[in-house]
Chains A and B, each alone.
Chain A
Amino acid sequence: MARPAPQDVATIACVGGGTIGSGWAACFLAHGKDVVMSDPGPDAQAKARAVIDQAWPHLEGLGLASGASRDRFRFAASVAEAVGEADLVQESAPEREDLKIALFAEMDAHARPDTVLASSSSAFLPSHLQSQCRHPERVVIGHPFAPSYLMPLVEVVAGEATAPEAITWARDFYETVGKRSVVLKKEIEGYIANRFQMVVFEEALRLVEDGICDWDAIDLSITEGPGLRWPFLGSLSTNHLAGGKGGLEHAIEMWDWAGNEESRASALSSIDARFGHLSMADLEAWRDDNLMRLIKGRRAVPAATK
């Protein structure tokens, strides 16, 4: 049986049913897929169903696909049974490289040879995870963000032995279940987004240890400032808007450019491709509209009840 088209995936195996794996299961179920899960842990099934139940109202809020149902979730007794009939395998076992390498070898042995095997790993190199597989060309990283039933981003990463078709297929598949995928051009530990989180946390630590501010202020400095712009602008586009009428080009002139010449040119062309059709006034109106929506839409932390 050949690999189905990404939009025709019917059955997904979730190997590992912790918070991340169960969150994936909820996401897949909400998109009208059948989900088969395996997890050797005690009470794994009950715990997974609790996460799916917690996720479901939010997924209903986003809109369920036709035919979507929590009844289409099934728990299997072994990895072999879970992956046997799957059109995609999403592995979310504990983050230990040796364990994942062994698990990929096992999934590889029992899944159809062309089924894409994706790992939720947040750090490991796919070249390592695929190293014991007979069909390593279908092994990819498909790294989600917590909670995996709501956060759109999935980082898709290939190892040395991964086929380009498997990467394209995984990217397209994630888009069919409402995700936004980013395909890395080369593997790197920690991928992209977690590296951003890490440098933020390191800078925060430095500021606290140098006595500049305390930890409460660190969070405030993000949530009340740049954090409000990042959900719709990201990092580069924020600089484009900071440049006023001159846009990114002007912003670059004012600051020291952090990258090399080639990346400077690619930054400018990235902005041009995405925003070149809009005047700065149009772009500012869009930004302000989104800022209003965020400021009015978000909720403060529930207060202590006395």
Chain B
Amino acid sequence: MARPAAKDAKTIACVGGGYIGAGWAACFLAQGRDVVMSDPGPDAEAKARVVIDQAWPYLKKLGLAKGAAKKRFRFVGSVAEAVADADFVQESAPDREDLKIKLFAEMDQHARRDTVLASSSSAFLPSRLQSQCKHPQRVVIGHPFAPSYLVPLVEVVGGKETSKAAMKWAFDFYESVGKKSMMLKNEIESYVANRIQHVVFEEAASLVDQGICTYDDVDTAVAYGPGMRWAFAGPTTCYHLGGGKGGIRHMIDHFGWKRGPKAKKALIASIDKRYGHLDMAELEAWRDDNLLAIIKGLRPVPAKKG
């Protein structure tokens, strides 16, 4: 049986049913897929169902696909049974490399040979995870963000042996279940978004260590400052908006560019491609609409009772 078109993937195997795997299951179910899960842990099925039940009201609010139902979830006794008939496998076992390498070898052996096998790993190189597989070309990273039933981003990463076709298939599949996927051009440990989170946290820890501010201040500064813009405008977009009428070109002239000309040219081209059709007033109006929606929409941490 050949690999189905990404949007036609009907049965998904979730190998590993912790918070991430069960969140994936909820996401797939909400998009009208059948989900088969395996997990050797005690009470794994009951725990996974709790997460799915927790996720479901939110997924309903986002809109369920036709035919979507929690009862299309099935728990099985082994990895082999879970993956055998799957059109796609999403592995979400604990983040230990040795364990994942063995698990990929096992999934590789029991899944159809063209089924894409994706790992939820948040750090490991796909070249390592696919190293014991007979069909490594279909192994990819498909890294989600917690909670995996709501946050859209999925990082798709290929290893040395991964085929372009498998990367493309995974990308299209994630888009078909409502995710926003991005493909890395080369593998790197921890991929992109977690590296960016990490440098923010490192800078925060350094500021606290230097006695500049407290951790409460760190969260306030992120949440009420740049973080509020990052929910809809990424760092390059914010940089462009920071330049006023002159946009990104003004920012680069004003602050200077200390790095290579290639990245600078690519940055300007990326901004032009995404925002070239809008004048700065239109872009600012879009920014302000979003900020207003966020400021009015967000709810503070629930207060202490009594």
A259 to chain B, nearest CB (A): 3
Q: Which of B8-16, B79-87, B180-188 contacts A (4 or more CB under 8 A)?
A: B180-188
Decide yes or no whether B71 CB sits under 8 A from chain A: no
Determine whether the beta carbon of B292 is less than 8 Å from that of A288: no
Determine whether the beta carbon of A223 is less than 8 Å from that of B221: no
A40 CB contacts on chain B under 8 angstroms: none
Determine whether the beta carbon of A223 is less than 8 Å from that of B234: yes
B174 to chain A, nearest CB (A): 11
Cβ-Cβ contact count across A and B, 8 Å cutoff: 339
Among candidates A197, A220, A227, A263, residue contacting B209 with C-beta atoms closer than 8 Å? A263
CB within 8 Å of B: which A135-179 residues: 145-147, 150-153, 155
A211-B186, A221-B192, A298-B232 known; A192+B218 contact, CB < 8 A: yes
Among candidates A195, A220, A266, residue contacting B234 with C-beta atoms closer than 8 Å? A220
CB within 8 Å of A: which B172-200 residues: 180, 182-186, 188, 192-193, 195-200
A62 to chain B, nearest CB (A): 7
Query: How many angstroms between the C-alpha atoms of A237 and B300 in the bound complex?
Result: 13
Nearest residue in A to B278 (C-beta to C-beta)?
A302
Determine whether the beta carbon of A241 is less than 8 Å from that of B293: no
Query: How many angstroms between the C-alpha atoms of A100 and B214 in the bound complex?
Result: 29
A209 CB contacts on chain B under 8 angstroms: 259-260, 262-263
A267 CB contacts on chain B under 8 angstroms: 208, 215
Determine whether the beta carbon of A266 is less than 8 Å from that of B263: no
Among candidates B209, B219, B231, B239, residue contacting A298 with C-beta atoms closer than 8 Å? B231
Determine whether the beta carbon of B304 is less than 8 Å from that of A260: no
CB within 8 Å of B: which A193-239 residues: 193, 195-197, 199-205, 207-239
Query: How many angstroms between the C-alpha atoms of A203 and B200 in the bound complex?
Result: 10
Determine whether the beta carbon of A270 is less than 8 Å from that of B241: no
A260 CB contacts on chain B under 8 angstroms: 209
Q: How many residues of B contact A (CB 8 A)?
A: 107
Decide yes or no whether B66 CB sits under 8 A from chain A: no
Query: How many angstroms between the C-alpha atoms of A152 and B294 in the bound complex?
Result: 11
B263 CB contacts on chain A under 8 angstroms: 205, 208-209
Determine whether the beta carbon of A221 is less than 8 Å from that of B153: yes
Determine whether the beta carbon of A220 is less than 8 Å from that of B182: yes
Query: How many angstroms between the C-alpha atoms of A193 and B204 in the bound complex?
Result: 9
Query: How many angstroms between the C-alpha atoms of A253 and B207 in the bound complex?
Result: 21
B271 CB contacts on chain A under 8 angstroms: 215
Determine whether the beta carbon of B206 is less than 8 Å from that of A152: no
Residue-by-residue, is B151-172 near A (CB-CB < 8 Å gives 1, otherwise 0)?
Answer: 1110100000000000000000
| Most A Cβ at <10 Å: residue of B150, B202, B219, B259 | B219
Determine whether the beta carbon of A221 is less than 8 Å from that of B232: no
> Which 8 pairs from chain A and chain B are nearest by CB?
A219-B234, A234-B219, A230-B227, A259-B205, A225-B153, A227-B230, A215-B270, A153-B225
Instruction: Give me 14 A-to-B residue pairs in the complex whose CB atoms sit less than 8 angstroms apart, sorted by A's number.
Output: A147-B288, A182-B221, A185-B214, A193-B222, A212-B188, A218-B192, A220-B234, A227-B231, A235-B200, A258-B201, A263-B215, A270-B215, A271-B215, A281-B54
Q: Which residues of B are in contact with A by a Cβ distance under 8 Å?
A: 19, 54-55, 58, 61-62, 145-147, 150-153, 155, 180, 182-186, 188, 192-193, 195-239, 241-242, 244, 259-260, 262-263, 266-267, 270-271, 273-275, 277-278, 281-299, 301-302, 304-305
